[in-house]
C-alpha cells in the first residue's frame, strides 16, 4: 500500500543523507523526487503543487546545520531528518490534521443515523457491516437498514453480513428506499438501538434520480454523519465524485476503502485538500474487522516509511487476551527465562494481530528497506507453532530438556511431521531470542518502540535484583535476529 509514495520520499531522503546543510539547490532536487512520486501516486497536480510549495516554504529560510540547539542536550538534526519532519507535518495537515473522529452520539430515544452513499462497488455494504461491528464492539447497539432495493442480491448480501457481525437488520423486499429508511429508524427506536446505519444503492456513475433519492433519504432521516464511501483505487476520479456528492448532500466525511490493495494513495492524500471533506475511516481489507479510524498522522508516517508505532500498539493491545499474563511473560523473557511456552503464546498473539505484512509495514525499522512484495512468508512461524505443539508441557517450560535428549527431539519431529533440521533451527532461534531479550531487559532506558512494551520499564528492578551484566551479555549476542519481532511484541 502507498508504496509509490514511500519510494519517492525515500529517494528524496537518500539524496539528503550525509549532507551537512540543507541548501536550496539540494532541496529542489529532493522536491523533484517527491513531486514525481506524488504524480505517479495519482495525487492531483493542483494538490501536489500546493503541498510542495508548503514544504519548500517551511524548509527554506531555516538554516539547518548538522548541529542544532545549543549547549547541553543538543540534538543532531540532519537535513534528512529535518526534511522528514517537515514532510510529516505537511502530509498530516494535508490529509486532515485535526479531528477526523466520527460523531455518532445517540440514544434509543434519538438514534444517531449514519448515511452511507457512494458509487456502485465502492464498498458501501461491506463498510456498513464493518462499521456496525466496530460500533457494537464499542458497546453501542446498531441497526442496519438495507435501502438498496434495486438489486435483490444487495439486500441478501447485507443480511448475510449482518448475521455474521450479529447486528439486527431492517429490510423490506420491495418498497421505496425513503420509506424503508424512515421505518428503519422507527424500528431502531422500538428495538432500543442507538445508532442506525443506512446502506443505500449506488450507480456506476453519478446520476440525477439517485441523487434526488439520497436527498430525500437525508431529509427524512436527518443523519448525523453522511459518509461518502470511496474506492481508494480509483484515484483522482474519487475527487470528482466527492465534489458532486458533497454539493448535493453536504457530506460530513469520507470512507476510503481498499487501501490494502495496490492503491497508489492519491485519493487518500488529496480528498480533504481538494474537496474539504475529511476522511474519517479507512477500509484495510475484505475482512469485517478491517475498518479503521483514518489517522492522518499515522498514514503520513507510513507514507514516509517511518512506521506506525501507535497502530502497532493498538493491534497488540487488541490481540493480547490476558494482559497480566503477557506482562508476566515479558518480564520473564526479559530476565532471560524465555521458554517455548512463552514463545508459543507470542506466536499466537502475533497471529491474532493480522496479516504479517501489515505488521511489518507498521514497524519503524523498515523505513528504508522496501517491504517484500506480496504476502509475507509465514512458513517459519507455522512450523514453529507445530513443533511447540508437539512438545510436552514440561519440555515447553524447560528448553534444556531438548538439548540433552535426542529421543525427545526425534519424538517431537515425528509428531510435527518435520525434519530434525526444523527443530534445530527453532532451538537456535529460541536461544538467540533468549539472549536478545536478556540484553533488552538489561538496557538502562528502553527506547522508542521498546519503551512501549508492557512490562519493560518494571524490569529494571528485576535486573538489579539479579545483578545482570549487560556488557558480558553483549559479547554473546548474534548480530541480526530475524526472530526478534514476536519477542519484541511481548
Ligand atoms: N480489499 C478490500 N476489498 C473491499 C474493501 N471494502 C470493500 N471491498 C470489496 O469490494 C467489493 C464491493 O463491495 P460492496 O460493499 O458490495 O460495495 P457496494 O456496491 O458499494 O455496496 C466487495 O467484493 C468487497 O469485498 C476493502 O477495504 N478492502
Ligand atoms: Mg451495496
Inside any domain, residue 164: yes
Here the CATH number for the domain that contains residue 433 is 1.10.260.30
User: Is 202:119 a contact under the CB 8 Å cutoff?
Assistant: yes
Q: Which residues contact 260 (CB under 8 A, 6 or more apart)?
A: 1, 283, 284, 285, 290, 358
| Domain final residue, candidates 274, 304, 334 | 304
- The rounded distance, in Å, linking the Cα atoms of 132 and 288 is 10
Task: Looking at the structure, tell me whether residues 88 and 147 fall in a common domain.
Answer: no
Atom of ligand 1 nearest to the CA of 118: 20
Task: Looking at the structure, tell me whether residues 258 and 331 fall in a common domain.
Answer: no
Task: Looking at the structure, tell me whether residues 327 and 447 fall in a common domain.
Answer: yes
Test site for ligand 1: of 1, 119, 147, 257, most ligand atoms within 8 A of the Cβ: 257
Q: At residue 68, what are phi and psi to the nearest 5 degrees?
A: -100, 165
Q: Which residues contact 324 (CB under 8 A, 6 or more apart)?
A: none
Grid cell listed for 18: 550525509
| Domain final residue, candidates 61, 95, 129 | 95
Instruction: Tell me, in angstroms, the distance from the centre of ligand 2 to residue 193's CA.
Output: 22
Instruction: Tell me, in angstroms, the distance from the centre of ligand 2 to residue 399's CA.
Output: 53
Nearest of 325, 359, 349, 429 to residue 387 by alpha carbon: 429
Query: Which ligand ends up closest to the CA of 122?
Result: 1
Instruction: Tell me, in angstroms, the distance from the centre of ligand 1 to residue 258's CA.
Output: 7
User: Cell numbers 545549543 label which residue?
Assistant: 70
- The rounded distance, in Å, linking the Cα atoms of 381 and 148 is 43
Instruction: Tell me, in angstroms, the distance from the centre of ligand 1 to residue 123's CA.
Output: 4
Task: Looking at the structure, tell me whether residues 32 and 121 fall in a common domain.
Answer: no
Task: Looking at the structure, tell me whether residues 246 and 332 fall in a common domain.
Answer: no
Here the CATH number for the domain that contains residue 230 is 3.40.50.300
Burial class (CB in 10 A: 0-12, 13-18, 19+), 271: buried
Task: Looking at the structure, tell me whether residues 286 and 352 fall in a common domain.
Answer: no
Inside any domain, residue 462: yes
- Tens place of pLDDT for every residue, the chain, 490 residues? 678 888 888 888 888 877 777 778 888 999 999 999 999 988 989 999 999 999 998 887 664 443 344 444 434 467 777 788 888 889 989 998 656 889 999 999 999 999 999 999 999 999 999 999 999 999 999 999 999 998 879 999 999 999 999 999 999 988 899 999 999 999 999 999 999 999 999 888 788 999 999 999 999 999 999 999 999 888 888 888 999 999 999 999 999 999 887 777 888 889 998 889 999 999 989 999 999 999 888 888 888 877 665 666 666 666 666 667 777 777 777 777 888 888 887 777 777 766 666 666 665 544 444 545 555 567 777 888 899 999 999 999 999 999 999 999 999 999 999 999 999 989 988 887 787 777 766 654 544 444 445 444 444 444 444 444 333 333 333 333 333 333 333 3
CB atoms within 10 A of CB 261: 15
Atom of ligand 1 nearest to the CA of 121: 19
Is the torsion defined by CA of 51, 302, 377, 483 positive or negative? positive
Task: Looking at the structure, tell me whether residues 180 and 223 fall in a common domain.
Answer: yes
Grid cell listed for 28: 529542489
Going by alpha carbons, the residue nearest to atom 14 of ligand 1 is: 123
Q: For residue 265, what pLDDT is reported? A: 80
Instruction: Tell me, in angstroms, the distance from the centre of ligand 2 to residue 127's CA.
Output: 9
- The rounded distance, in Å, linking the Cα atoms of 430 and 423 is 10
Inside any domain, residue 107: no
Beta bridge partners of 291: 283
Test site for ligand 1: of 120, 125, 126, most ligand atoms within 8 A of the Cβ: 126
Q: How many domains does the chain have?
A: 3
Task: Looking at the structure, tell me whether residues 378 and 474 fall in a common domain.
Answer: yes
Task: Looking at the structure, tell me whether residues 471 and 401 fall in a common domain.
Answer: yes
Query: Which ligand ends up closest to the CA of 255?
Result: 1
Tell me how far CA of residue 75 lies from CA of 20, 71, 84, 357, in angstroms. 14, 10, 15, 33
- The rounded distance, in Å, linking the Cα atoms of 421 and 150 is 59
**Beta-sheet pairing, 142-147 with 195-200:** parallel
Inside any domain, residue 191: yes
Task: Looking at the structure, tell me whether residues 340 and 394 fall in a common domain.
Answer: yes
User: Is 84:304 a contact under the CB 8 Å cutoff?
Assistant: yes
CB atoms within 10 A of CB 289: 14
Inside any domain, residue 320: yes
Inside any domain, residue 103: no
Protein residues with CB under 6 Å of any ligand 1 atom: 118, 120-126, 202, 229, 257-258, 260-261, 283-286, 290
Inside any domain, residue 16: yes
| Domain final residue, candidates 304, 321, 339 | 304
Inside any domain, residue 106: no
Task: Looking at the structure, tell me whether residues 426 and 411 fall in a common domain.
Answer: yes
- The rounded distance, in Å, linking the Cα atoms of 260 and 276 is 24
Task: Looking at the structure, tell me whether residues 384 and 326 fall in a common domain.
Answer: yes
Test site for ligand 1: of 123, 129, 145, 162, most ligand atoms within 8 A of the Cβ: 123
Q: Which residues contact 238 (CB under 8 A, 6 or more apart)?
A: 230, 231, 232, 266, 267, 271
Owning domain of residue 425: 310-488
CB atoms within 10 A of CB 46: 12
- The rounded distance, in Å, linking the Cα atoms of 183 and 171 is 10
What does R_g of the chain's alpha carbons equal in angstroms? 26
Here the CATH number for the domain that contains residue 88 is 1.20.120.140
Amino acid at each position: 500500500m502507498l508504496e509509490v509514495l514511500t519510494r519517492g520520499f525515500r529517494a528524496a531522503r537518500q539524496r539528503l543523507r550525509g549532507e551537512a546543510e540543507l541548501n536550496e539547490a539540494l532541496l529542489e532536487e529532493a522536491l523533484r523526487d517527491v513531486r514525481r512520486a506524488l504524480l505517479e501516486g495519482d495525487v492531483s497536480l493542483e494538490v501536489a503543487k500546493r503541498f510542495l510549495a508548503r514544504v519548500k516554504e517551511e524548509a527554506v529560510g531555516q538554516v539547518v546545520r548538522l548541529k542544532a540547539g545549543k549547549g547541553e542536550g543538543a540534538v543532531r538534526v540532519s537535513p534528512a531528518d529535518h526534511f522528514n519532519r517537515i514532510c510529516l507535518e505537511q502530509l498530516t495537515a494535508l490529509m486532515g490534521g485535526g479531528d477526523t473522529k466520527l460523531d455518532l452520539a445517540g440514544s434509543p430515544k434519538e438514534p444517531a443515523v449514519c448515511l452511507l452513499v457512494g458509487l456502485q462497488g465502492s464498498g458501501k455494504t461491506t463498510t456498513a457491516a464493518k462499521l456496525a461491528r466496530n460500533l457494537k464492539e464499542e458497546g453501542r447497539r446498531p441497526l442496519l437498514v438495507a435501502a438498496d432495493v434495486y438489486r435483490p442480491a444487495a439486500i441478501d448480501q447485507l443480511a448475510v453480513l449482518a448475521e455474521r457481525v450479529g447486528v439486527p437488520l431492517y429490510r423490506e423486499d420491495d418498497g421505496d428506499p425513503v420509506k424503508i429508511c424512515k421505518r428503519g429508524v422507527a424500528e431502531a427506536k422500538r428495538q432500543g438501538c442507538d445508532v442506525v446505519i443506512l446502506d443505500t444503492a449506488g450507480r456506476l456513475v453519478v446520476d440525477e434520480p439517485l441523487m434526488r433519492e439520497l436527498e430525500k433519504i437525508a431529509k427524512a432521516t436527518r443523519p448525523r454523519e453522511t459518509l461518502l464511501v470511496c474506492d481508494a483505487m480509483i484515484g483522482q476520479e474519487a475527487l470528482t465524485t466527492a465534489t458532486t456528492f458533497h454539493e448535493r448532500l453536504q457530506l460530513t466525511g469520507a470512507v476510503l476503502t481498499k487501501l490494502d490493495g495496490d492503491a497508489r494513495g492519491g485519493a487518500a492524500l488529496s480528498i480533504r485538500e481538494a474537496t474539504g471533506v475529511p476522511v474519517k475511516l479507512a477500509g484495510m481489507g475484505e475482512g469485517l474487522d478491517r475498518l479503521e479510524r483514518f489517522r492522518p498522522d499515522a498514514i503520513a508516517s507510513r507514507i514516509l516509511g517511518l512506521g506506525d508505532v501507535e497502530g502497532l500498539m493498538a493491534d497488540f493491545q487488541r490481540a493480547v487476551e490476558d494482559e497480566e499474563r503477557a506482562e508476566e511473560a515479558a518480564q520473564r523473557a526479559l530476565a532471560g527465562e524465555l521458554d517455548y511456552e512463552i514463545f508459543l503464546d507470542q506466536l499466537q498473539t502475533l497471529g491474532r494481530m493480522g496479516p504479517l505484512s501489515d505488521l511489518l509495514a507498521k514497524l519503524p525499522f523498515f523505513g528504508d528497506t522496501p517491504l517484500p512484495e506480496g504476502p509475507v512468508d509465514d512458513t517459519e512461524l507455522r512450523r514453529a507453532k507445530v513443533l511447540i505443539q508437539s512438545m510436552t508441557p514440561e519440555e515447553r517450560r524447560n528448553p534444556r530438556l531438548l538439548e540433552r535428549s535426542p529421543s525427545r527431539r526425534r519424538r517431537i519431529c515425528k509428531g510435527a511431521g518435520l525434519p530434525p533440521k526444523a527443530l534445530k533451527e527453532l532451538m537456535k532461534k529460541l536461544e538467540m531470542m533468549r539472549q536478545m531479550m536478556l540484553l533488552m531487559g538489561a538496557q538502562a532506558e528502553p527506547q522508542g518502540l521498546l519503551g512501549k512494551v508492557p512490562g519493560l520499564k518494571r524490569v529494571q528492578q528485576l535486573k538489579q535484583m539479579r545483578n545482570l551484566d549487560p556488557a558480558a551479555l553483549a559479547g554473546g549476542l548474534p548480530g541480526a535476529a530475524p526472530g526478534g519481532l514476536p519477542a519484541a511484541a511481548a
